[in-house]
């Protein structure tokens, strides 16, 4: 097998590896109802995801009026408790995602998760999906004092997974900005939660299906990857 140009592939979770929109929408609308506010159509919620639970709740409140931080903090426990209890009711992994993860493992490539979902909920979802132990490192939105698009969580995830030539896979402008700030190549998926076409994210490659991931990664220049080595 030819040398693979990467040592490690880091992934976003929501909208990248798994379609979590149905359960996020249900949790958001549960919290909004508890606050006496109108619900948000579920199909619109996928365009509000990306900066964590409080940001999602803030955006949901803004759909119908003021979204002061007092309301966000009042609604946050309702959101989190409901979501934790129903974290994988409607969530599904994207077609081909598991096969792509297996193909990377076969090539000796390590994998990491870098998500703005709280770390505890991330592990809960991975357990429900049957993905416990699939990743060499997991960094959530509350693992560090900062979250994406700050590059620190991505650097931390890569370092915890052993470092080396790395790339980030994501679906949104948050992920694109994170990869750019971390000076890493970025591959965008076109089927996620982005509020704009994947072609407008400035990615090094865009894939429409996980069957395209390995070929896309093989086009990344090893020299480019070497310039972006992250130490362990």
What is the domain partition of the chain in residue ranges? Answer: 8-19+91-227, 21-85
Query: pLDDT 10s per residue in the chain (232 long)?
Result: 458 899 999 999 999 999 999 999 999 999 999 999 999 998 888 888 767 788 889 999 988 887 789 999 999 999 999 999 999 999 999 999 999 999 999 999 999 999 999 999 999 999 999 999 999 999 999 999 999 999 999 999 999 999 999 999 999 999 999 999 999 999 999 999 888 999 999 999 999 999 999 999 999 864 333 334 555 5
21-85 shares the fold of 8-19+91-227: no
User: Does residue 133 contact residue 196 with C-beta atoms inside 8 Å?
Assistant: no
* Marked catalytic residue, from 12, 136, 171, 177: 12
Catalytic, 7? Answer no
Residue 167's beta-bridge partner residues? 9
DSSP conformation letters of the chain: -PPPS-SEEEE--BTTTEE-HHHHHHHHHHHHHHTT-----HHHHTTT-SS-HHHHHHHHHHTTS---HHHHHHHHHHHHHHHHHTTTSS-EEPTTHHHHHHHHHHTT-EEEEE-SS-HHHHHHHHHHHT-TT--SEEE-TTTSSS-TTSSHHHHHHHHHTT-BSEEEEESSHHHHHHHHHTT--EEEETTSS-SS-GGGS--SEEESSGGGHHHHHHTS-HHHHHHT-B--
CB atoms within 10 A of CB 84: 14
In CATH, which of 2.60.40.350, 1.10.760.10, 1.10.3210.10, 1.10.150.240 is domain 21-85?
1.10.150.240
For residue 99, the model assigns a pLDDT of: 97
Q: Provide the pLDDT for residue 3.
A: 80
Task: Supply the pLDDT for residue 227.
Answer: 36
Q: Please tell me the predicted confidence (pLDDT) of residue 50.
A: 66
CATH of domain 8-19+91-227: 3.40.50.1000
Q: What pTM, to 2 d.p., does this model score?
A: 0.90
What is the phi/psi pair of residue 79, to 5°?
A: -65, -55
Q: What is the pLDDT of residue 65?
A: 82
DSSP state at residue 189: E
């Amino acid at each position: 097998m030819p040398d693979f140009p990467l040592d490690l592939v880091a992934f976003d979770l929501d909208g990248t590896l798994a379609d979590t929109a149905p359960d996020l929408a249900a949790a958001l609308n549960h919290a909004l109802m508890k606050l006496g506010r109108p619900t948000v159509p579920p199909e619109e919620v996928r365009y509000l995801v990306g900066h964590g639970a409080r940001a999602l709740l803030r955006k949901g409140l803004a759909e119908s009026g003021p979204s002061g931080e007092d309301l966000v903090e009042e609604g946050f426990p309702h959101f989190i408790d409901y979501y934790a209890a129903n974290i994988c009711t409607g969530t599904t992994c994207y077609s081909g995602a598991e096969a792509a993860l297996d193909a990377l493992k076969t090539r000796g490539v390590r994998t990491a998760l870098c998500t703005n979902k709280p770390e505890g909920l991330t592990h809960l979802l991975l357990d429900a999906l049957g993905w416990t132990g699939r990743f060499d490192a997991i960094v959530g939105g509350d693992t560090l004092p900062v979250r994406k698009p700050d590059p620190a969580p991505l650097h931390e995830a890569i370092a915890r997974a052993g470092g080396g030539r790395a790339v980030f896979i994501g679906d949104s402008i948050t992920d694109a900005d994170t990869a750019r700030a971390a000076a890493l190549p970025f591959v965008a998926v076109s089927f996620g939660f982005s509020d704009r076409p994947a072609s407008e994210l400035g990615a090094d490659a865009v894939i429409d299906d996980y069957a395209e991931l390995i070929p896309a990664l093989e086009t990344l220049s090893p020299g480019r990857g070497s310039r972006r080595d992250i130490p362990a």
